[in-house]
Structure 1
Amino acid sequence: MMKDIGSFQEWNDIAEKEPQLGLFVKTDHCSVCEGLYPQVAALAERYRFPFYRVNAAEVPEIAGQLSLFTAPVVLLFHEGKETARFARFVQMEQLKQRMDELEKWGIADA
């Protein structure tokens, strides 16, 4: 299950300590966000790295700091750097391929 992020400071703390992670960004009144979330959450369950969820309407600093101009957005990070960004209409097969790569990098780093 994805863990919710409630503040920009919480995001910074997580981003600093997690070698690999995923972030699902949604906003209020977004039907695409609501439709995509269960698919991404189900996919995230299959990987060892953590996945987080944040509502950009509740944590607006995250949208500015990560240059997010739409929702939903799925971001993947490796060692604090963004490695993939999927915005609005996410192709699940492409997301899965990038998540597979991220997991392999994590295994290689271990």
Structure 2
Amino acid sequence: MKQIEELTSLNKIEDFLQQNNMSFLYISRQECSVCHAVLPQLRELLDHYPLIRLGHIDANVVPEVAAAYNILTVPVLLYFIEGQEVLRKARFIHFDELAEQIEKIVELNK
């Protein structure tokens, strides 16, 4: 499964986005049952994209992430290319649709 990097501050999030051309942020909370179901599916999907790095933020550990990235619910998936957000999914994620969208974005950025 795709490796995941724990990001525990806004500075670490910003560094992660700057250091990786293509990056995915997964924002969750420990007590969120939907979050626990989404993460393994996301990791499996991103296995097909070795150039996309995956970072995880626990919104309980980094509460300021909500204001910094306009997050109203969890889980939230944010896909960045060169530090710019290109895709956002929240709460109930349709993985077939997400896979198609990621594929299109990756193809456009080759």
Query: What TM-score, normalized to structure 2?
Result: 0.89
**Superposition pairs of residues 14-25 of structure 1, within 5 angstroms:** 14-25=16-27
Q: For residues 6 and 92 of structure 1, what CA distance do their matches in structure 2 show?
A: 26
The alignment partner of 1:58 has SS state of coil
Q: How far apart are residue 61 of structure 1 and its match? A: 1.6
Structure 1 stretches of at least 4 aligned residues deviating more than 2 Å after TM superposition = 101-106
Question: Residue 61 of structure 1 is aligned with which of 43, 61, 64?
Answer: 64
Which residues of structure 1 form unaligned runs of 5+? none
Q: For residues 108 and 15 of structure 2, what CA distance do their matches in structure 1 show?
A: 21
Query: What TM-score, normalized to structure 1?
Result: 0.89
> What residue in structure 1 maps to residue 104 of structure 2?
101
> What residue in structure 2 maps to residue 38 of structure 1?
40
More helix by share: 1
Residues 71, 87 of structure 1: 8 Å contact kept: yes
CA deviations on 1:67-86 (whole Å, 9 max, x unpaired) are 00100011111121111111
- Which deviates further from its counterpart, 86-95 or 41-50? 41-50
Q: How far apart are residue 102 of structure 1 and its match? A: 3.1
Q: How far apart are residue 58 of structure 1 and its match? A: 0.6
**Cα root mean square deviation, aligned:** 1.2
Q: For residues 8 and 26 of structure 2, what CA distance do their matches in structure 1 show?
A: 13
Q: Structure 1 vs Structure 2: percent identity of aligned residues?
A: 27
Q: How far apart are residue 42 of structure 1 and its match? A: 0.9
Q: How far apart are residue 2 of structure 1 and its match? A: 1.4
CA deviations on 1:85-104 (whole Å, 9 max, x unpaired) are 11000010111112213322
Q: How many correspondences in the alignment?
A: 107
